[in-house]
C-alpha cells in the first residue's frame, strides 16, 4: 500500500488530540478526548497498541484486530487510572491488509471509506448519537453534520471495561484507495466533495486537498486524513509505525521519559 497521512489541529482547537498510524500494511486514525492532555494521550496509546499488534501479526487478522482493541482499551483505562484523569477515551479506526482482504476494526465516529472506480463508499458506521438518529431515519446526513450534539459518541476506547468494536473485511482490488479520517474532516466536507477531493493524484496531494477543504469550511476541530492506495504488491510485511512510546511517556512523566 502506498500511503500518506496528514494531521492538522484546525483553526479553533488549541491542541491536536488526533493521531494516526501509517505503514505499508496498515493505516488508522484515533480521535482522543479528555482534558489536560488526556485526549492526546488516549489517541497515541491506542495507536501504539495497534502498532505493536500489527508488527507481530500472524495469520488471523480478525483475532489481531480484536486484540488491538482490547489492549488499547486496557491501556487507556490504566493510563486514566494512573494519571487520575476522568473522561479519557478515543475513537479508533484501523484498516489492515491481509490475504487479499481489507480488514477493518472500528469504534467511535472516525470513518473509513473506500474509493473504487470513482465511487466513494463509507465502510464504517458512526457510533454516535447523530449516527443512531440517521440510521433510524430521524435525521438526514446533512442535518447530522451541523447538529449541536454531533460530537456525542456512543462507543469509544477507554470508556468502559469491555468494548465491542466492529470488525469486518472485504476483498480488495488493484486501484482501490482507502481513506480513513476523523470527524474534523467529515463534519465540514459533505460526501460529494469528499469523493471529488479524495480522487486522483498521489495520496499526499489528496491528503492536502482534504485537510485544506476542512479548514476553508471552518476547521472547527482537529483534522486527520490517512490515505492508502492498494496495488498488487500491497500485502507486504508490516513495518514499524511512527508512534513512539517514549513520546507518550515523556508527556506523562516529564522530559526524561520513564520516572
d(CA 136, CA 205): 36
- Cβ 109 to Mg ion, closest distance in Å? 8
Q: How many contiguous H segments (helices) and E segments (strands) does the chain have?
A: 8, 11
- Cβ 217 to Mg ion, closest distance in Å? 14
d(CA 235, CA 29): 20
Return the range that interacts with Mg ion (CB under 5 A); candidates 59-67, 98-106, 175-183, 188-196. 175-183
Q: Which is nearer to Mg ion, 24 or 125 (CB)?
A: 125
Q: Which is nearer to Mg ion, 25 or 207 (CB)?
A: 207
- Cβ 214 to Mg ion, closest distance in Å? 11
- Cβ 183 to Mg ion, closest distance in Å? 4
Return the range that interacts with Mg ion (CB under 5 A); candidates 169-177, 179-187, 191-199, 230-238. 179-187
Q: Which is nearer to Mg ion, 190 or 239 (CB)?
A: 190
**Cα separations in angstroms, 85 against 36, 79, 235:** 8, 8, 39
Contact 90, 36 (CB under 8 A): no
Q: Which is nearer to Mg ion, 174 or 216 (CB)?
A: 216
Q: Is 221 in the site for Mg ion (CB under 5 A)?
A: yes
How many angstroms separate the first and last alpha carbons of the chain?
A: 38
Q: Residue count at the site for Mg ion (CB under 5 A)?
A: 5
Q: Is 183 in the site for Mg ion (CB under 5 A)?
A: yes
Nearest to 240 by CA among 89, 88, 101, 50: 50
- Cβ 184 to Mg ion, closest distance in Å? 5
Bridge pairing between strands 119-122 and 111-116? antiparallel
- CA quadruple 120, 129, 163, 181: dihedral positive or negative? positive
Nearest to 91 by CA among 35, 46, 125, 139: 46
Question: Which residues inside 4-43 make contact with Mg ion, applying CB under 5 A?
Answer: 31
Q: Is 49 in the site for Mg ion (CB under 5 A)?
A: no
Q: Which is nearer to Mg ion, 97 or 153 (CB)?
A: 153
H or E segment at 31? strand 26-33
Q: Which is nearer to Mg ion, 31 or 40 (CB)?
A: 31
- CA quadruple 89, 38, 220, 204: dihedral positive or negative? negative
Question: Which residues inside 112-141 make contact with Mg ion, applying CB under 5 A?
Answer: none
Q: Which is nearer to Mg ion, 62 or 151 (CB)?
A: 151
Give the footprint of Mg ion on this chain (CB under 5 A): 31, 182-184, 221
Amino acid at each position: 500500500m502506498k500511503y500518506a497521512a496528514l494531521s492538522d489541529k484546525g483553526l479553533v482547537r488549541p491542541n491536536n488530540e488526533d493521531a494516526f498510524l501509517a505503514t505499508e500494511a496498515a493505516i488508522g486514525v484515533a480521535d482522543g478526548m479528555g482534558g489536560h492532555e488526556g485526549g492526546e494521550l488516549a489517541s497515541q496509546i491506542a495507536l501504539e497498541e495497534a502498532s505493536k499488534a500489527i508488527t507481530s501479526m500472524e495469520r488471523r487478522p480478525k483475532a489481531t484486530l480484536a486484540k488491538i482493541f482490547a489492549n488499547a482499551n486496557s491501556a487507556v483505562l490504566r493510563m486514566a487510572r494512573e494519571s487520575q484523569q476522568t473522561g479519557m477515551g478515543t475513537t479508533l479506526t484501523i484498516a489492515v491488509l491481509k490475504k487479499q482482504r481489507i480488514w477493518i476494526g472500528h469504534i467511535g465516529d472516525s470513518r473509513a471509506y473506500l474509493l473504487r472506480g470513482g465511487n466513494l463508499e463509507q465502510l464504517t458506521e458512526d457510533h454516535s448519537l447523530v449516527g443512531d438518529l440517521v440510521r433510524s431515519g430521524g435525521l438526514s446526513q446533512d442535518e447530522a453534520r451541523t447538529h449541536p450534539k454531533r460530537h456525542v459518541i456512543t462507543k469509544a476506547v477507554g470508556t468502559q471495561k469491555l468494548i465491542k468494536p466492529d470488525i469486518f473485511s472485504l476483498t480488495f482490488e488493484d486501484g482501490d484507495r482507502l481513506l480513513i479520517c476523523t470527524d474534523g474532516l467529515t463534519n465540514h466536507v459533505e460526501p460529494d466533495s469528499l469523493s471529488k477531493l479524495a480522487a486522483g493524484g498521489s495520496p499526499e496531494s489528496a491528503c492536502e486537498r482534504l485537510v485544506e477543504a476542512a479548514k476553508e469550511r471552518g476547521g472547527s476541530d482537529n483534522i486527520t486524513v490517512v490515505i492508502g492506495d492498494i496495488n498488487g504488491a500491497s500485502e507486504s510485511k508490516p513495518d514499524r509505525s511512527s508512534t513512539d512510546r517514549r513520546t507518550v511517556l515523556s508527556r506523562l512523566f516529564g522530559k526524561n521519559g520513564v520516572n
